[in-house]
Amino acid sequence: MKTYKTTAVIVGILYIIGTLSGILSVAVTRDLFAGEDFLTKIAENQSQLNLGALMILIMGLSLAAMPVFLYPLFKRKNQALALGMVVFRGPLEGSTYILVVVGWLWLGVFSKEFQAAGAESVPLQVVGNVFLQTKNIVTPVLTIVFIIGAMLLYTLFYLTKLIPRWLSGWGLIAAVFYVTVDLVILLGFNLHLDVLYIPLAVQEMVMALWLISKGFNQVELDRLLTERNSV
């Protein structure tokens, strides 16, 4: 049983690392992509861009590692859902974060060429604008992949009762709010709904602290370890 307490602690820590890294990435790059002079700002603030990219990479790796620790338990309840969670939260979400990081680093290199071109930089500005729009499209797609994985995760937590059902239910409801923001962006509506990100961010931190301090529900864990897998 000590092993599963360790598993709960590791999952909680990975959640905290992922969330804090994501917040920091936004904090350090928030102004770099705004305005028509974004290429100039990026060229003059390479360290900020690189730090933001590093935080995205850390977030992606930590969140992709998390389902690996939960899969051995969740597959006892429903192997299909558990495998889906690993696929979406692991390779799909993780590879998308890596794609974002590569894109950011490429934009950093591109911004230097833009700055060096001087008066002949107009065509490069057009290319930069196209890339920025691509970034704005990729972000909602990443969110949809993330939310599918999150809903599979919270469904499995709800079914297994390894954490209180009010906590996993909170995650399911908050995931709907979260994805709404990016669906609105993807559909082209100019609405500022960032406040809808907050419920899931808070839920993840509450769940992480719960897992670190209390671990899994021991009664439900014992029951899960003795029941047969269902698909």
Confidence (pLDDT) at 231: 47
Confidence (pLDDT) at 51: 93
Enter the tokens of residue 217: 């529900």
Any bridge partners for residue 230, and if so which?
Answer: 78
Confidence (pLDDT) at 130: 64
| DSSP structure string for 89-141 | IIIIHHHHHHHHHHHHHHHHHHHHHHHHHGGG-HHHHHHHHHHHHHHHHHHHH
Confidence (pLDDT) at 107: 81
Confidence (pLDDT) at 29: 87
Confidence (pLDDT) at 135: 67
Question: pLDDT per position in the chain (231 positions), as tens?
Answer: 557 899 999 999 999 999 899 889 988 888 887 777 777 888 888 889 999 999 999 999 998 999 999 999 999 999 999 999 999 998 898 888 888 888 888 888 877 777 776 645 556 666 666 666 666 667 777 888 889 999 999 999 999 999 999 999 999 999 998 888 877 766 766 667 778 888 998 999 999 999 999 999 999 999 998 876 544
Confidence (pLDDT) at 98: 87
Name 6's Cβ contacts closer than 8 Å, sequence gap at least 6: none
